[in-house]
Structure 1
Amino acid sequence: MNSRENQLKAFDRLLTIMDELREQCPWDKKQTMETLRHLTIEETYELGDAILENDLEEVKKELGDVLLHIVFYSKIGSETKDFDIADVCNSICDKLIDRHPHIYGDVIVENEEEVKQNWEKLKLKEGKTSVLEGVPKGLPALVKANRIQDKVAGVGFDWEESSQVWEKVEEELQEFKDEVKLGNKDAMESEFGDVMFSLVNYARFLKINPENALERTNKKFINRFQYLEGKAKSLNKDLKDMSLAEMDVFWEEAKKI
């Protein structure tokens, strides 16, 4: 691995290239924080995909893309004299030191859970009026549910045992089934949301990331369905013309791959 000196040289090289691109490249000169925003979101999702695929070479590349965006925003901030990359680095360093009094202070913690609880309490002392202020409004609902539950658990609002959470899942499932029988669409949607929320909570107790779990299932389904499509094509058949029984044969084959 590279020495700290080489790491700093590499970061300095990136900052220099960013300065040059901002001054000389027509596309880079034109960008604003707003125009970069959607690209940053895409890069973050691409990084997430690489992590799920455990493709470390791709993780390295995608981390570079995300780092470029951080440097880009910081460069724009320096041009308006609002902040630069040093301010960004010092800001997160200060936050990490303040939020880790068990490392940089005299607070004693016994485990990871106590660290999380202290983290949320410290944020309230910093002026936040709610532990949920830090949950971005634009997060996908599944990720948001997980973050909400994680944050309130940080201040002690949580179940004691996973068995209690599963009982809640079963309770919500029954309520959903009851509404399905009645056929009230709005009530069905509401109860389905409760089922999802309680399942996310149960996953949290089992140390399962629900977003990662669902995305792995998405990828698994895509791979199996594309295998099915390939088999149908090799037989010169259209999926629309195949029976479910015929398709199921190839589906079962795909599951064994």
Structure 2
Amino acid sequence: MTEQEKDPRLLAFNRLLDIMDDLREQCPWDRKQTMDTLRYLTIEETYELSDAILEKDMEEVRKELGDLMLHLVFYAKIGSEKQAFDITDVLNGICDKLIERHPHIYGDVEVQDEEEVKRNWELIKLKEKGNKKKTILGGVPKSLPAMVKATRIQEKARGVGFDWDNKEDVWNKVEEEIQEFKEECAQPEVSMEKAQDEFGDVLFSLINYARFMNIDPETALELTNKKFIRRFNYLEEKATADGKAFGEMTLNEMDAYWNEAKKKGL
């Protein structure tokens, strides 16, 4: 047995490929699946992985990575059946891309820092033969959630030097956009279209500032969502235990439970 054959990583991956072949041939459900039917399941699995990461549950992260790995192998299996590509093409493709986009590792290019690496990545990407997305922002998926999309747009623009010089200037822009939103909302007859437009500018500028602070806005908001849920669940449980109904409680009564939850660190 060669050293390559002894590598447990390769053995495990080959085992998954063999199981995928068996399932595709023998299981009625697996035989029925297409790329289209798997798409939504893959998205769901990705969000489950995201939840596990936010919860810092490494055991769940391991499991969810396995689920996603299965999906990747599944897509490659379907691709091979269509004689479009197979898992070898997929793996060699990403290997070639990584080598091409890291000339400071696999070539003679010198870089000073992370930002220069990102800038080179975007410029190399534009020059690649066969790249169907020939614009800087062309690689941002249209179906991304809006907040994630805004972050990726800003990162890609930064990658080619289109960015603010410092966070102070960005914060000034945040305050400017908030003021414009307030002024629009203060109009005697508020135009919902204009108010929505101004609110979008506020969010976009805040996301920009978060980027300068190395804060991921999607993660920050999701952590706040989880915090709100924990505290609201506490409020609900305590109120029920005390024989109180939501429709009958005052805001002050609900705030009292809410503040209890805060003091408990929920």
- TM bucket (normalised to shorter chain) is over 0.9
Match of 2:18? 16
- TM-score between the two structures when normalised by the length of structure 2: 0.94
Q: Secondary structure at the match of 1:159?
A: coil
> CA offset at residue 241 of structure 1?
1.1
Matched residues in 1 for 2:259 and 2:157: separation?
A: 42
Match of 1:114? 116
> CA offset at residue 4 of structure 1?
7.4
Matched residues in 1 for 2:241 and 2:205: separation?
A: 44
Q: 1:152 aligns with which of 139, 157, 166?
A: 157
In structure 2, runs of 5+ residues without a counterpart are none
Q: 1:139 aligns with which of 119, 140, 144?
A: 144
Match of 1:67? 69
Matched residues in 2 for 1:35 and 1:186: separation?
A: 37
> CA offset at residue 129 of structure 1?
2.4
In structure 1, runs of 5+ residues without a counterpart are none
- TM-score between the two structures when normalised by the length of structure 1: 0.97
Q: 1:250 aligns with which of 251, 254, 257?
A: 257
Match of 1:173? 178
Once the two structures are aligned, what percentage of the paired residues are identical?
Answer: 66
Deviations 1:172-208 (A, max 9, x none): 0000000000122111100000000000000000000
Match of 1:39? 41
Q: Aligned pair count?
A: 255
Matched residues in 2 for 1:55 and 1:206: separation?
A: 26
> CA offset at residue 124 of structure 1?
1.2
Q: 2:8 aligns with which of 6, 9, 24?
A: 6
Matched residues in 1 for 2:109 and 2:184: separation?
A: 50
Match of 2:197? 190
> CA offset at residue 233 of structure 1?
1.2
CA-based RMSD of the aligned residues comes to 1.1
Counterpart check, 1:219 vs 2:226: yes
Q: Secondary structure at the match of 1:215?
A: helix
Matched residues in 2 for 1:96 and 1:85: separation?
A: 17
- Give the stretch that moved more between structures: 127-136 or 196-205: 127-136
Q: Secondary structure at the match of 1:132?
A: helix
> CA offset at residue 232 of structure 1?
1.2
Change (3 A) 1:4 1:199: farther
